[in-house]
């Protein structure tokens, strides 16, 4: 009888242990499960979904776009992009004007289920200069073929005309997605390098952000967007 009672006790203890582990696991599983196995659907929590974006006939188009594999770090991808810019500038003649500013846009798509998108992606950039605010037109970040792949980097090189200025500071930026093919954006950076300007310049300015956010809409014409806020740092001085 003692052996039977001992056996029953052991079974009971084991069952309790399994139940405890199961309960603990259920507390932590949902987030991972949803992240890896969620069905594609409306996922935005920005409160901006299905917005209307007013545009003008003037739209910025990148001079250069490059994509880099998800296995690369930000530093590795950035170094390759600068090599690509150097080749591009050697092969193409750009107008050498003091009123022409150059800057880069770095984005990374998250590496979770359905985070990639073929939807329209646009962006807008706001700068402060000694002549006042410089709010550039909307820029088109659409890529040929598959737009954004899970975990991949997409880098863009832009040039824009500005009045003759003595200094420039990157202040804020907006990334926007049109349509129902949601996008989970991990990184969204704007970078101005003094040594890459046409005219003599020093100092760097940037807007660095880690949105980690879904952009999505319930209609094919609606826009959802992420705004960095005024988080820019640094100043580029033009001699």
Q: What pLDDT score was predicted for residue 32? A: 36
Angstrom CA distances, 27 to 19, 31, 196, stand at 13, 9, 51
Cα 10 from Cα 210, distance rounded (Å): 51
Average pLDDT, integer, range 124-147: 89
The count of C-alpha atoms lying within 13 angstroms of the C-alpha of 132, restricted to the half-sphere facing its C-beta, is 3
pLDDT at 55: 82
**DSSP-assigned states of every residue in 130-175:** TTEEEEPPPEE---SSS-B-TT-EEEEEEEEE----SEEEEEEEEE
- pLDDT band of residue 218 (cuts 50, 70, 90) is very high
Q: Which residues pair with 110 in a beta bridge?
A: none
- Nearest 5°: phi and psi at 87? -65, -40
Strand residues in 15-99 grouped as ranges (E): 64-68
What is the reported pLDDT for 21? 38
Does 150 score more than 50 pLDDT? yes
pTM: 0.82
- Give the closest residue to 160 by CA, choosing from 123, 109, 187: 123
Question: Is the confidence at residue 7, as pLDDT, over 90?
Answer: no
Q: Quick one: pLDDT band at residue 25, thresholds 50, 70, 90?
A: very low
Look at 89 and 2; give whichever has higher pLDDT.
89
Q: Average the pLDDT over each of 48-52, 143-147, 224-228 and give the range with the smallest value.
A: 143-147
Pick the residue with more confidence: 234 or 30?
234
Mean of pLDDT over the chain = 84
Gyration radius (Cα) of the chain, Å: 24
CA distances from 2 to 7, 11, 12, 13 (A): 8, 14, 15, 16
Residue written as token pair 């740092």: 233
Summarize pLDDT for 43-57 with one digit per residue, the tens.
999 999 999 998 888
Q: Rounded distance, CA 43 to CA 182, Å?
A: 7
pLDDT in tens, 158-182: 999 887 899 999 999 999 999 999 9
Give me the mean pLDDT over the 206-210 stretch.
Answer: 98
């Amino acid at each position: 009888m003692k052996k039977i009672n001992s056996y029953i006790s052991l079974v009971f203890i084991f069952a309790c242990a399994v139940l405890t582990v199961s309960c603990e696991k259920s507390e932590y599983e949902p987030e991972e499960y949803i992240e890896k196995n969620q069905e594609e659907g409306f996922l935005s929590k920005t409160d901006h979904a299905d917005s209307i974006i007013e545009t003008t006939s003037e739209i910025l188009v990148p001079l250069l776009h490059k994509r880099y594999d998800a296995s690369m770090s930000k530093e590795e991808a950035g170094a390759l992009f600068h090599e690509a810019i150097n080749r591009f500038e050697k092969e193409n003649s750009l107008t050498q004007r003091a009123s022409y500013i150059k800057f880069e846009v770095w984005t990374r798509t998250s590496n979770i289920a359905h985070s990639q998108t073929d939807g329209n992606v646009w962006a807008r950039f706001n700068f402060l200069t000694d002549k006042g605010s410089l709010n550039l037109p909307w820029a088109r970040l659409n890529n040929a073929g598959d737009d954004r792949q899970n975990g991949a980097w997409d880098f863009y090189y832009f040039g824009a005309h500005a009045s003759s200025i003595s200094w420039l500071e990157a202040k804020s930026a907006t990334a926007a997605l049109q349509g129902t093919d949601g996008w989970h954006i991990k990184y969204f950076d704007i970078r101005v390098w003094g040594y890459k300007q046409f005219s003599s310049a020093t100092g760097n300015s940037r807007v660095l952000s880690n949105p980690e956010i879904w952009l999505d809409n319930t209609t094919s014409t609606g826009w959802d967007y992420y705004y960095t806020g005024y988080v820019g740092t640094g100043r580029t001085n033009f001699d």
